[in-house]
């Protein structure tokens, strides 16, 4: 055996045991980060980001438990919990914002996904047009996942490619993929410094989206200069600490409609 593999399996098993039923015990918390119109600062939607408040370990960051949930299959129920929570939380939010929920590769590969997503969204009373599902490039390489995305879009749900540009897939796949939105990864936003080199990748993604008639959302905006440059490059929408960190539902209702 590879000892590091054995260690990881043991760790996974421990964490997975705790993660089972975490939703039922009220330990999973969903925070919301506004996605704003960069010209006005007004929120147009919210991304749901899960947190795990473990009774002993404290707040476990998603990067520590999402991969475990993915490897053990717990991600399927966890993901549906977050989706249900987010749709229910935001259905009556002021301005009818859209709701953006992350979907992991494993969820996309589960045959019951379309049925379960549709019934969760219907139960929440959210119009399908107000749901965006975020998938990563690596999640959409296999044919079955592409079929699933087509089905979801057929019901009016929009698909965003998360962390766009960080995967290793070829650009060619984009022209035939059922997607609506490209999310410019925050590493490319961080490179924006007013120079042609700094803006090279963000600009290329924005041009590509324009040609393919996709929308772009810039991630990880931390400065007003970045916003100015993104607007000048033609990216109308974004999110980041400059506007708001992921926050509790109360903040959505308190801050909505207020210009930032
Ligand atoms: O909030 P940040 O640390 O919040 O998120 C870290 C990573 O965890 C991001 O890549 C984000 O996409 C992922 N993530 C956050 N919430 C969810 C979720 O509900 N489902 C999935 N699959 N990933 C999530
Ligand atoms: O992979 P995904 O885009 O879903 O990840 C979202 C992650 O990005 C979350 O961890 C969220 O907390 C984080 N995030 C959101 N805005 C900013 C930002 O302005 N700067 C940085 N460094 N991280 C951010
Ligand atoms: Mn995301
Ligand atoms: Na991202």
Asked if residues 30 and 52 have their Cβ atoms less than 8 Å apart, the reply is: no
Choose the most confident range, by mean pLDDT, from 4-13, 168-177, 220-229: 220-229
Q: What is the mean pLDDT of the segment spanning 122-151?
A: 94
* Sign of the torsion formed by the C-alpha atoms of 65, 66, 70 and 76: positive
- Residue 174 neighbours by CB distance under 10 Å: 18
- Ligand 1, CB cutoff 6 Å, lining residues: 49-50, 61-63, 66, 79, 82, 102, 104, 246
CATH of the domain at 116: 3.20.20.450
Q: Which ligand is nearest to the CA of 160?
A: 3
- The count of domains in the chain is 1
Burial of residue 59 (CB within 10 Å: 0-12, 13-18, 19+) is: exposed
Question: Residue 133: CB partners within 8 Å, gap ≥ 6?
Answer: 100, 101, 102, 103, 117, 152, 157, 158, 159, 160
Per-residue pLDDT, averaged over 57-83, amounts to 94
Indicate the pLDDT class of residue 260, thresholds 50, 70 and 90. very low
The 10s digit of each residue's pLDDT in 179-218 is: 999 999 999 999 999 999 999 999 999 999 999 999 999 9
pTM: 0.94
Write the residue with the smallest CA distance to atom 13 of ligand 2. Answer: 220
Whether the Cβ atoms of residue 22 and residue 28 lie closer than 8 Å to each other:
yes
Residue 260 lies in a domain: no
Which of 186, 188, 191, 226 has most ligand 2 atoms within 8 Å of CB, for mutation? 186
Say yes or no to pLDDT of 259 above 70.
no
Q: Which amino acid residue places its CA nearest to atom 21 of ligand 2?
A: 220
Residue 72 pLDDT greater than 50, yes or no: yes
The number of the ligand 1 atom at minimal distance from the alpha carbon of 103 is 22
User: How much is the pLDDT for 1?
Assistant: 66
In this structure, what are the phi and psi dihedrals at residue 248, rounded to the nearest 5 degrees? Answer: -70, 165
- Domain containing 151 equals 3-255
DSSP-derived letter for residue 140 is G
CA 183 / ligand 4 centre spacing (Å): 7
Using DSSP's 3-state secondary structure scheme, residue 237 falls into strand
pLDDT digits (tens, 9 = 90+) for 31-51: 999 999 999 999 999 999 999
User: For the chain, how long is the longest CA-to-CA vector?
Assistant: 58
Calculate what percentage of the chain has a pLDDT beyond 90.
83
Which of 45, 49, 182 for a ligand 2 pocket mutation test, highest count of atoms within 8 Å of Cβ? 49
- Comparing C-alpha atoms, which of 6, 94, 82, 2 is closest to residue 42? 94
Give residues with Cβ within 8 angstroms of 142, minimum separation 6. Answer: 109
Question: Which ligand 2 atom is at minimum distance from the Cα of 47?
Answer: 4
Ligand 4 (ion): residues with CB under 5 Å are 162-163, 219
């Amino acid at each position: 055996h590879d000892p590091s593999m054995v260690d990881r399996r043991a760790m996974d098993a421990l964490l997975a045991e705790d993660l089972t039923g975490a939703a039922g015990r009220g330990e999973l918390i969903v925070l919301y980060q506004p996605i704003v119109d960069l010209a006005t600062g007004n929120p147009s939607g919210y991304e749901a980001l899960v947190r795990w408040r473990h009774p002993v370990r404290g707040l476990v960051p998603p990067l520590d438990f999402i991969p475990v949930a993915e490897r053990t299959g717990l991600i399927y129920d966890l993901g549906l919990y977050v989706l249900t929570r987010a749709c229910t939380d935001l259905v009556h939010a002021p301005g009818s914002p859209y709701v953006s929920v992350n979907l992991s590769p494993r969820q996309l590969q589960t045959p019951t996904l379309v049925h379960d997503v549709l019934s969760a969204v219907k139960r929440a009373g959210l119009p399908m047009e107000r749901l965006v599902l975020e998938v990563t490039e690596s999640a959409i390489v296999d044919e079955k996942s592409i079929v699933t995305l087509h089905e979801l879009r057929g019901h009016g749900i929009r698909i965003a490619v998360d962390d766009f540009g960080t995967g290793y897939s070829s650009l060619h796949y984009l022209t035939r993929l059922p997607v609506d939105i490209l999310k410019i990864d925050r590493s490319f936003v961080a490179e924006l410094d007013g120079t042609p080199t700094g803006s090279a990748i963000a600009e290329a993604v924005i041009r590509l989206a324009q040609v393919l008639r996709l929308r772009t959302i810039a991630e990880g905006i931390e400065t007003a200069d970045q916003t100015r440059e993104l607007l000048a490059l033609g990216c109308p929408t974004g999110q980041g600490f400059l506007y708001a960190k992921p926050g509790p539902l109360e903040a959505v209702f308190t801050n909505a409609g207020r210009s930032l």
